[in-house]
Amino acid sequence: MNDTKARQYAHLSQQLKALQANLAQTSRQMETMSRQCNEHLVGQLGKVHAAWFIGGNRCFEEEMLGKR
Amino acid sequence: MENPYEQVHQSILSRIVNNVERLNESVITLNQELQHINARNKNLQIMGQMCENYHKSVQFNMSATNNKREPL
């Protein structure tokens, strides 16, 4: 095996090691993401805010128009 | 005796090395983007927890002061 080939194989092995580390990190990030997405964050926030808006509307309607 | 496929082998190997290098760069970029997205999602998660806790406190205070009414 000549010198160039040995150098290329060494480079390739280094690159593959880095790739493996990167893919492990990717899989960790994906796990975090799926855990976060399973909590229905946006739906939860939407429901809470809708409840606040409706409650506030009722409250201030009575404040402004007097108790009916 | 010289291997007749030596040249071909060499060029294919160099192409493989190049492609793996580019793949690595792409995966690094993907990782960075995922990290950004996860940081934003974490903020959203904290906001959701805060809102929910506030909601629970409001509900408790309403029922404690007898101001809670039936839904529409």
DSSP secondary structure string for all residues of A4-68: HHHHHHHHHHHHHHHHHHHHHHHHHHHHHHHHHHTT-HHHHHHHHHHHHHHHHHHHHHHHHH---
Taking an 8 Å cut-off on Cβ atoms, the answer to whether A33 and B35 are in contact is: no
Q: A11-15, A19-23, A28-32, B64-68 — which is least confidently predicted? A: B64-68
Tell me: pLDDT of B1 over 80. Answer: no
Tell me: pLDDT of B67 over 70. Answer: yes
Taking an 8 Å cut-off on Cβ atoms, the answer to whether B17 and A8 are in contact is: yes
Mean pLDDT for all residues in chain B: 91
Angle at B16 between CA B2 and CA A10, to 5 degrees: 75
- Here the ipTM equals 0.71
Residues of B in contact with A29 (CB under 8 A): 31, 34-35, 38
**Interface membership of B26 toward A (CB under 8 Å):** no
B56 or A4, greater pLDDT: B56
pLDDT computed for residue A21 by the predictor: 95
Our measurement of the distance from residue A68's CA atom to the centroid of its chain's CA atoms, rounded to an integer in Å, reads 47
B3 or A19, greater pLDDT: A19
Our measurement of the distance from residue A60's CA atom to the centroid of its chain's CA atoms, rounded to an integer in Å, reads 37
B16, B24, B41 ranked by CB distance to A22: nearest: B24
Q: pLDDT-derived band of residue A68, with 50, 70 and 90 as boundaries?
A: low
A36 or B72, greater pLDDT: A36
pLDDT computed for residue A64 by the predictor: 87
Q: Tens digits of per-residue pLDDT, A16-62?
A: 999 999 999 999 999 999 998 888 888 989 999 999 999 899 889 88
Distances, alpha carbon A59 to alpha carbons A46, A53, B51, B58, in Å: 20, 10, 19, 14
Residues of A in contact with B10 (CB under 8 A): 4-5
